[in-house]
Structure 1
């Protein structure tokens, strides 16, 4: 490789097509090695996770049983545990509480519900979302570029895709 520097970095540029082809091949080899390392790491992590999940399983089963036992007791004794319209009872070793979750709306068959709302004159339950159609702007760039606040940009990337590799590496060219 020649000593030609690129973009004020200390990276030596390839000086021939053959050098570039060799580098691309080497990149592919290195990427496959990285993939192998990541695969080995994931295998080890899965084994470690399984080991600790197995250790925690009997403890979680105990916790669940105790939780259900305390819940049964507290449900039967709720009136004596809760004072002054509170929702929390303080015991010696901790607290128990009853919480009401926020209401949740579930919609099944959204199109049919929309038709029903419109037929019943309940359009206030229908939200209309306005947003800029960027695809339309791209299709009519000559018109859209005259609108204040709309601009178009494009950049060129240099991509190396070695054969037999699914991983791409791309860098923005300035």
Structure 2
């Protein structure tokens, strides 16, 4: 049996018919925006209450897990030669696995400018990356110079419509 084609109805928007209707709609938009803010605040309060109700139980369980993990690690380290087969790094202990892994080497740098200067001083420029990128600000300053360059398109400022209902800020 062939699938039926889905038909999506396009929402129709009717234009306001008068200045009074525009003003009324803007007032309704402001009312609905405030209601959204109230509902979000209520939702956040409820989430905070739920989170607070579970925090103590979760923290207790995490502490127990941490203690048991430490105990398992101590036992496994003491019995590593017994539980690992030759050359393996993982032991299957029926209810789960334990494994020993080395993290990959990493480089940490402090005072990057000083490190770069030192590498240049010592002729170790192969360890310095030079990043090339297009200077968009320069292109905007002189758009005629790049008008024939493929891949460069300059978009003029685009107009957009915005509604800002008036709100009173109490300070």
TM range (shorter): 0.7 to 0.9
What is the aligned partner in structure 2 of residue 160 from structure 1?
A: 163
Structure 2 residue matching 1:159: 3-state secondary structure: coil
Maintained 8 Å contact 1:28/1:165: no
Question: What is the root-mean-square deviation in Å for CA atoms of aligned residues?
Answer: 1.9
> Which consecutive residues of structure 1, in runs of 5 or more, have no partner in the other structure?
1-7, 167-174
Match of 1:26 in 2: 28
Deviating more after overlay: 38-47 vs 145-154: 145-154
Query: 1:32–1:165: 8 Å Cα contact kept in structure 2?
Result: no
SS in 2 for 1:96: strand
Q: 1:130 to 1:70 in 2, by over 3 A?
A: same
Q: What secondary structure, in the 3-state scheme, does the structure 2 residue paired with 1:156 have? A: coil
Alpha-carbon offset, residue 146 of structure 1: 1.9
- The 8 Å contact of residues 144 and 150 in structure 1, kept in 2 or not, is answered as yes
Q: Is the 8 A contact 1:87 1:97 kept in 2?
A: yes
User: What's 1:141 paired with?
Assistant: 143
Whole-angstrom CA distance in 2 between matches of 1:44 and 1:144? 56
The equivalent of 1:104 in structure 2 is: 106
Larger fraction in strand? 1
Q: Deviation at 1:35?
A: 0.8
User: How far, CA to CA, are the matches of 2:130 and 2:168 in structure 1?
Assistant: 45
TM-score of the superposed pair, with normalisation by structure 2: 0.84
Offset of 1:86 from its aligned partner? 1.1
How has the CA–CA distance of structure 1 residues 50 and 85 changed in structure 2, closer, same or farther, with 3 Å as cutoff? same
Query: Alpha-carbon deviation of 1:62?
Result: 1.4
Query: How many residues in Structure 1 have an aligned counterpart in Structure 2?
Result: 159
5+ residue gaps, structure 2, are 1-9
CA distance in 2, matches of 1:116, 1:87: 40
SS state at 1:130 partner = coil
Residue from 94, 99, 105 that aligns with 2:96 = 94
